[in-house]
Structure 1
Amino acid sequence: MEELFVRQMQAHGVEVMWSMRRDRAGPCLQTGYGGQEVHLPLRLPVAGGAGKAVNRIAQYVCEVGLFLSLLFGKRFDIVQVRDRRYLFAFLGWVAARLRGSRFVFWSSYPFPEHLIEMAAGRRGPGRVVYWLRGRLSWFYLYRFVMAVADHVFVQSEQMLRDVARYGVPVAKMTPVPMGVPPHLLDWVATHAGEGVQSGKVVYVGTLARVRRMDQIIEAFRLVRQRNARAHLFMVGAGDSPAERAELEALTQRLGLTDAVTFTGFVPMEEAWRHAASAEVCVSPIYPSPVLNAGSPTKLVEYMALGRPLVANDHPEQAAILAESGAGLCVPWGVESFADAICELLENPEKARAMGSRGPAWVAANRTYDKLAAQVHARYLELLGGEA
């Protein structure tokens, strides 16, 4: 969102006022970022469950203040609310209607379905709590917020299909998938001489338990049996230290300690360097209704870097690889991943040919300047063609 709205939308002359959440303690204030106005809520240095509740209330109070600003201050053409800002979705809709603005909702993840899915994996009172939260937020989001919105931006074509089944008209939705900053392609050109490391296989992304990264570790045991030079780099961190620790313990049990490196969280450019020097990059996404609605950033980053990749049969990944020919798309599973990784490692000419197709496809379809142009065109359409 930062690349899309802070940098690219400004190039189209779009003035943006942000309302963001805080990660650290601080007062409710108005500040600036990237030449744009930003409203930050009050966050108190209180830990634990009590702190979470207190800071949630503080955020709501500040959102009411922002609502009054929208109601009595400067008028905006569009009031756009994203994801779990459920209270402000209502307040933003009211402000938009009273000021004659358009109300837009941006959905980047199916949070209600995620809660319902979490409920299925729990027992006792927690199961009931998560199920109720999921069902209530599902009804509020799909039956009210999206119903009253003038337009809805969704994460992917699959999310569009899913939301359409809930009764939201296809005509009022626009999919905006994840992309890459245009300067990534320039970065590739300036680092082209750094070279590829023999046998290097790279995964860049979260190690969260829900992603089932254990499958890639287990697949790599089979890869090493066939290719002794192969070395896996897991670039990223989990939502908690325990998730990485579980994968490291699995690596040790499988006798892969010398064949797998966990880098932890690294800056974006360092992650690009890892991927750019790989013989093969992998993009596993566990097949589930929630994750199937996503748009994987890592897939298009690998392609922009010119690397051949192995991905499993996920709606967006399958469509991109079928269109671009930049990698292998396989069923989810240990043996499928292992066979595909070995195929590319053992056939370097085929791998290079696949990797070479990626940058042109990304440049034509998935840089954020092009995605911003699509969003801007939709805004103008909503405003009746007004500049």
Structure 2
Amino acid sequence: MPNASTASSILFIVRDPLPPVRADVLTLFGTEMPRYGVRSELVGQCDLPGAGAPWPAGAMHVIGSLQSRCAGVCAPLWDLLGLLRALRALPGRRPACIQVRDKIASGVLGRLAAAVLRVPFLYWMSFPIVEGFEVRRDELRRRRRGLRSRLLWAAHALRAAASRRVIYRLVLPGARHVFVQSDAMADWLAAKGFERARMTAVPMGVDADLFDRARIEPVHDARLDGRRVLIYLGRIAQARRSDFLLDVVDELRAGMPEVLLVIAGDAPSNDEMAWMRRQIAGRGLERHVLLTGWLDQRTALGYAVRAEVGLSPIPRGVLYDVSSPTKLVEYLALGIPSVANDIPDQQQVIERSGAGLCVPMQARPFADAVRALLADPALAAGFASRGPAWVRRHRTYAVLGRDVAAIYKTILTE
């Protein structure tokens, strides 16, 4: 791989809002890739009009806003304009490759542009977008009432059908390499006929410095004093079955009245947060659940290190079975014994790290696993000691960055 003075530039079209906040873009491409001479020209849309920030690993080319009503239709055009702007900024107006993340129409654009420029086309799949469209289509089918809802269902059905043909017949077959979220996703795509050797799994990781327990100050919150504290770090959503967490606490509170679940996270909308509050009140769990709402990362981690057990339930199904959840790896990095359910990536992490318990996503098995950890300090201490070391060896972005850079070295020098 070239050094920083002869850096390769990836022209990278992303689906997430710019500036990036996800660690697998912000940390992996903003911090780690430049260490190996891989810089990036990010192309995409902002979340709020006027949003912008410098990109230390290259440059950002922001055209359009995801808050626009026409964002879904205009995004490919905006990406074309961003691509042209990025090319004008590059020496020789030619990137080392063009990479598209989680976009379908812009995936076709990226493949065509790569062919014109005679550079490799790469695709980064962090989520099964088409299958997500199909889940939304099916939800609307069940709720069809009246002409407007039928037209909305028809629009989503058309989008899902067209997206399936485009991504699986035009975009992925033209990619020299496909980065995926997990080994399970790679196996899933291989079962569809795509060559496994052309795929690399890049699971979610952590920044070792941010998740160094010795550097984190526990929060001073009297509501946690004298309680058996459980932690859930993450977003709240009905689609994620976040009320399952309450089912677990309901199982625990009869024999453990001092149990307290801290849910350190926000919801995607006020309606979702109101739904969660109703679920807590409906079960009479106000004394046993602390719903913090949005917290800055340091404060959220300050709550986490006061917990005895971390919880990571992820619903089974096509959307989540191929995912790589961050929260379990975060708990392990912090030395928090954890209970997770058996989606493939989490099961693999638990088995390989020996730092937690893996059970089905059912309230009683989850509650039994929590009781086992709280009742056996030696078991919990063993898990706590193994987690950080395993994460440092396998799931920090420094480690993941080294592995991804090796793939780019192979691709960009072929």
Taking structure 1 as the reference length, the TM-score comes to 0.91
Once the two structures are superposed, residues 134-159 of structure 1 have per-residue CA deviations (whole angstroms, 9 ceiling, x without a partner) of: 22212211221010011100000111
**Pick from 207, 216, 223: which aligns with 2:236?**
207
Q: Which whole-Å CA distance do the structure 2 matches of 1:363 and 1:264 have between them? A: 29
The corresponding residue for 2:410 is: 381
What do residues 343-375 of structure 1 show as CA deviations (whole Å, max 9, x unaligned)? 211222211211111000000000001111111
Which residue pairs with 1:75 in the alignment? 94
Do the aligned partners of 1:194 and 1:277 also contact (CA within 8 Å) in 2? yes
1:12 aligns with 2:36: yes
Q: How does 1:1-387 map to 2 (within 5 A)?
A: 1-26=25-50, 32-43=54-65, 51-53=68-70, 55-56=71-72, 59-69=75-85, 74-84=93-103, 86-123=104-141, 124=144, 125=150, 126-185=152-211, 187-191=212-216, 198-384=227-413
Which residues of structure 1 form unaligned runs of 5+? none
Question: What whole-Å deviation, never above 9, does each CA across 1:324-356 have from its counterpart, x for those lacking one?
Answer: 111111111111111111221122221121111
The range that moved more, 114-123 or 189-198, is: 189-198
Distance 1:192 1:262, change over 3 A: closer
RMSD across aligned positions (CA): 2.2
Of 354-363 and 235-244, the range deviating more from structure 2: 235-244
- What is the alpha-carbon distance in structure 1 between the residues aligned to residue 372 and residue 163 of structure 2? 45
Measure how far apart 1:177 and its partner are.
0.3
Amino acid at match of 2:55: Y
Instruction: State the one-letter code of the partner of 1:190.
Output: R
CA distance in 2, matches of 1:37, 1:276: 36
Structure 2 CA distance for partners of 1:194 and 1:247, relative to 1, 3 Å: closer
Cα offsets for 1:93-145 (capped at 9, x unmatched): 22212222111000000010011122222233244433332222122112210
CA contact (8 A) 2:184 2:345 kept: yes
Q: CA deviation at 1:276?
A: 1.4
SS at match of 1:41: strand
In structure 2, relative to structure 1, the CA distance for the partners of 1:147 and 1:261 (3 Å cut) is: same
Counterpart contact for 2:39–2:58, Cα < 8 Å:
yes
TM-score, length-scaled by structure 2: 0.85
Matched with 2:20 is none
**Closer/same/farther in 2, CA of residues 104 and 257 from structure 1, 3 Å limit:** same
Change (3 A) 1:368 1:214: same
Gaps of 5+ in 2: 1-24, 145-149
Paired amino acid for 1:41 = I
- Larger displacement relative to structure 2 (239-248 or 56-65): 56-65
Q: Secondary structure at the match of 1:202?
A: strand
Matching residue's letter, 2:115: R
Percentage identity across aligned positions? Answer: 34
2:107–2:171 CA contact under 8 A, matched in 1: yes
Letter in 2 for 1:366: R
Contact 1:155 1:178 in 2 (8 A): yes
- Residues in 1 aligned to 2:296 and 2:304: alpha-carbon distance in whole angstroms: 13
Aligned residue pairs, count: 375
Which residue identity lines up with residue 52 of structure 1 in the other structure? R
Amino acid of the structure 2 residue aligned with 1:270:
T
